[in-house]
Structure 1
């Protein structure tokens, strides 16, 4: 699909941050002034030449038209900035109120009211944007799942109608957004991880490569350890999606509900944290996180947790959206017709995360009845296609993502570890240290590196955490 099918926004309602819009409007106002000055100069030139008896027809009309267009565009951008800012202020006020800060909430709403007094039309524009935002998933899901008409016989099962009911319930439950400060509390099920492969690799250079590194098959977690020229170590972890129904499976449906309903430290979360510890990450270390589906929710909660410094969060098909704060670049990739993404209920109205964070979304081609299958819009391969569209996008927000990878690319060594994980405790089987399949070797380095610290049995058993030492 063409990149034109991809919608890249700073938030659920907010397409572009208000500061960027106001800066662009200011530049257009300046251009309008420059066009007026040019018109005046051309008029003076015409009069001077005419006084000498020479006929001269300067392009004053073009200068006037350019000036008027600049002023109209500046007005439109200012109006959109007002609309987005009201959305941002309303969202921030709701968060402040939920946190018990009534004074801050009142102050934020007061600022929003001032904007609306100066620009009354903004409220109508905001209402229209909110209706579109809230309705886009429902509309897309109806198109994805409504049964095709059969001449002479009504459909006995209209999945589209069920999707309307489901998305309405999701809005009522309100579990799709996770505020700052939220943690997965309580004791989680014990998990056992086993390192099933290790080797050397390089930093990712695209979102497509990030998708390709998300574990599939028997593996559940992948951890990359970067040693920078300064000697500092950083990490990147990739978490898999729902992997099965078995009672010992860490990424099963029980873990899904634990994460979505906030019922406790889900086993998939525990396994990912244990894998990070086994790979050498210590509290306070820098860890970039990425995940798909259930793994995206795990990544979101790791970014909210206090254990690690998380400068970048990348999610595909995340059933939640986490307000990760101003220190984390958040990249959320969604499909509007993905029932799992729909669980996020559109996410936050305003942007979350560091400057340059964004949400990228699209509707996938076809329907559940025309070859994709019932979950075609949620498949990782489909998200890989969307990642490729982002990789080729000229949107400047992708430059911020590329800059993060360029920093990781300076590493003198990148080690990679992949893990299996199961619920429960017990001795794990030592499977040695096979090279990670598909991991490109660093030039001049062959084979898998030796384990950097003593470990027994090739795995780590964990309750709330795991110690690799």
Structure 2
């Protein structure tokens, strides 16, 4: 482990890696073992060839039994490497089968209860919208009003009981719920449950995720919540950059907060500029829009596939920084910042060649082919689950449990597996990964900026932006 997080301080589990272009999930340790066996197999094969060559020019040497021995060792390495591959494939198939069964069951349940729920809500809205509003207000009023108000009461309860939401099982449950909302709608309009459970009937590519977020936005707007506004952006600082980031942890450390966007411009003699865009996390979780665009309104509208204020603010900042459609861009974001970074990559309006996200609720956002990078998630972090399972893309997926089983979960912040400190530990574990696939991806992301500063005339400038709702 690196100096920033000692082995004793690291509370998380092993890294789970899905390389780009693969559906096979394996631990970093398993991939590293396969790498070592592959290298040993190649070395034994080379030794065998050298022995044969030596035998041809120095007859009579007692080396007759060396080649068969080397070949047996090489075959054992090959067999062990293949066994590791079969273990990873079997694990992936089993996990996929379990997930399919869970989603089919969730779809059937949603289709069965959908008619009753949708019908009831429709009657409430059509016959007595005031009663629906009154019920929502009564439910909110039933929450005790703590020192910081009712939101503070909810927050304090969640902080005191982190174990309720900080498990991979709960995260899977949340993902099943958000992807089953469209099944409830189909059931509500009369589609038979057995038909709803068939593949291909999703209302959106990410299942019911976008439909669910649209429903939340629509119902919330009746109470004045999740209402989008225009945004404006101001550049608050411009400063030289001494060194490019090296490794996952250093890129995470450059993601801003309060001032929500940081853009670094890299220049070199005779070369077009390159840009790295860092997008910050949610600043306020209030469902009522104020002057902060990094809020719950942007979260809901982003997952719904709409145009959230934070996304528009990032595009305004990119334009102010001088980024043109053809300029190469690497986008990095944490939490909501990862959602917005993925939306920037998926918009098609910018030449995004690299993407790195941490804890992003962006699984249902399509990423164009050819965009490389990493999607990093803690498996006990519920926030990414609000966007459902990850759509296929060319990013490497790296996951791990922030708090392995048996470790005491801290009760000082809500959703501890989603906190920056938890992702700092995960980022450090990724930097320390042993497998060649992970290290190759880290080097590729590092090279985006380092290549320019190593050239004649290489220089970099950082611009920081603060966005507000109008």
Tell whether the structures are fold-level matches, with TM greater than 0.5: yes
Report the Cα distance in structure 1 between the residues aligned to 2:43 and 2:458, rounded to whole angstroms. 48
Q: Which residue of 2 aligns with 1:130?
A: 96
Q: Is the 8 A contact 2:346 2:367 kept in 1?
A: yes
| Cα distance, 1:69–1:292 mapped onto 2, change above 3 Å | same
Contact 2:339–2:362, Cα closer than 8 Å, also in 1: yes
SS in 2 for 1:265: coil
Match of 1:458 in 2: none
* Partners of 2:416 and 2:422 within 8 A in 1: yes
2:16 to 7, 17, 22: 7
Partner of 1:190: 230
Is residue 281 of structure 2 the alignment partner of residue 241 of structure 1?
yes
CA distance in 2, matches of 1:42, 1:70: 24
Cα separation, 2, equivalents of 1:190 and 1:386? 36
Cα pair distance change 1:34/1:175, threshold 3 Å: farther
Deviation of the 1:290 alpha carbon: 0.8
Distance (Å, rounded) in 1 between the aligned partners of 2:247 and 2:376 = 14
Distance 2:51 2:367 in 1: 50
Q: Name the residue aligned to 2:223.
A: none
User: Could you tell me which residue of structure 2 aligns to residue 219 of structure 1?
Assistant: 259
Q: Which residue of 2 aligns with 1:291?
A: 333
1:134 and 1:345 in contact (8 A); partners too: no
For residues 369 and 23 of structure 1, do their structure 2 counterparts lie closer, same or farther at Cα, with a shift above 3 Å needed?
closer
**What aligned pairs does 1:298-447 form with structure 2 within 5 A after superposition?**
298-321=340-363, 322-348=365-391, 352-353=393-394, 357-365=395-403, 369-371=409-411, 373-394=413-434, 395-410=439-454, 412-424=458-470
Distance 1:284 1:42, change over 3 A: closer
Q: Which secondary structure state, in structure 2, belongs to the residue aligned with residue 280 of structure 1?
A: coil
Change (3 A) 1:68 1:414: closer
- Structure 2 CA distance for partners of 1:196 and 1:272, relative to 1, 3 Å: same
Q: Aligned pairs, how many? A: 343
1:312-350: CA deviation from partner (whole Å, max 9, x where unpaired): 1111111113443343212111101111122344414x5
Counterparts in 2 of 1:347 and 1:227: CA distance versus 1, 3 Å: same
Distance 1:176 1:418, change over 3 A: farther
1:32·1:68 contact (CA, 8 Å) conserved in 2?
Answer: no
Q: Deviations over 1:109-152 (max 9, x none)?
A: xxxxxxxxxxxxxxx6653142477899xxxxxxxxxx9xxxxx
Structure 1 distance, partners of 2:273, 2:78, is 51
CA contact 2:266–2:449 (8 Å) conserved in 1? no
Q: Given the alignment, which residue of 161, 169, 181 partners 2:177? A: 169
- Larger helix fraction of residues: 2
Instruction: Please name the residue that 2:213 is paired with.
Output: none
Residue 206 (1) aligns with residue 247 (2): yes
* TM-score, scaled to structure 1: 0.60
Cα–Cα, structure 1 residues 372 and 169, in superposed 2: closer, same or farther, change >3 Å?
same
Task: Tell me the C-alpha RMSD between the 2 structures.
Answer: 4.6
Query: Against the structure 1 CA distance between its residues 222 and 133, is the aligned structure 2 distance closer, same or farther, given a 3 Å change threshold?
Result: farther
Contact 2:403 2:409 in 1 (8 A): no
Structure 2 unaligned segments of length 5 or more: list them.
1-6, 27-32, 103-156, 182-201, 211-226
Q: Do 1:197 and 1:419's aligned partners in 2 also have CA atoms closer than 8 Å?
A: yes
Query: How many Å separate the matches in 1 of 2:396 and 2:290?
Result: 36
How far apart in 2 are the matches of 1:40 and 1:249?
72
Tell me, in whole angstroms, the C-alpha distance in 2 between the residues paired with 1:296 and 1:175.
24
Which range moved further: 285-294 or 202-211?
202-211
3-state SS in 2 of match to 1:127: helix
Question: Do the aligned partners of residues 131 and 276 (structure 1) sit closer, same or farther apart at CA in structure 2, a change above 3 Å counting?
Answer: same
Which sections of structure 1, spanning at least 5 residues, go unmatched? 50-54, 84-123, 137-146, 148-154, 425-469
Kept in 2, the 8 Å contact 1:175–1:344? The answer is no
Normalising by structure 2, report the TM-score.
0.60
Q: Counterparts of 1:175 and 1:342 in 2: how far apart (Å)?
A: 18
**Distance change >3 Å, CA 73–CA 190, structure 1 → 2:** same
Residue 175 of structure 2 contacts residue 387 of structure 2 at CA under 8 Å; is this kept in 1?
A: no
Deviation by residue 1:167-200 (Cα, 9 ceiling, x = unmatched): 3213425899769xx9xxxx97321112212211
Q: Tell me the CA shift for residue 76 of structure 1.
A: 3.7
Q: Is the 8 A contact 1:176 1:345 kept in 2?
A: no
Question: 2: distance between equivalents of 1:382 and 1:158?
Answer: 17
Cα offset for 1:251? 1.0
Q: 1:167 to 1:230 in 2, by over 3 A?
A: same
Return the alpha-carbon distance in structure 2 between the equivalents of residues 78 and 163 of structure 1.
27
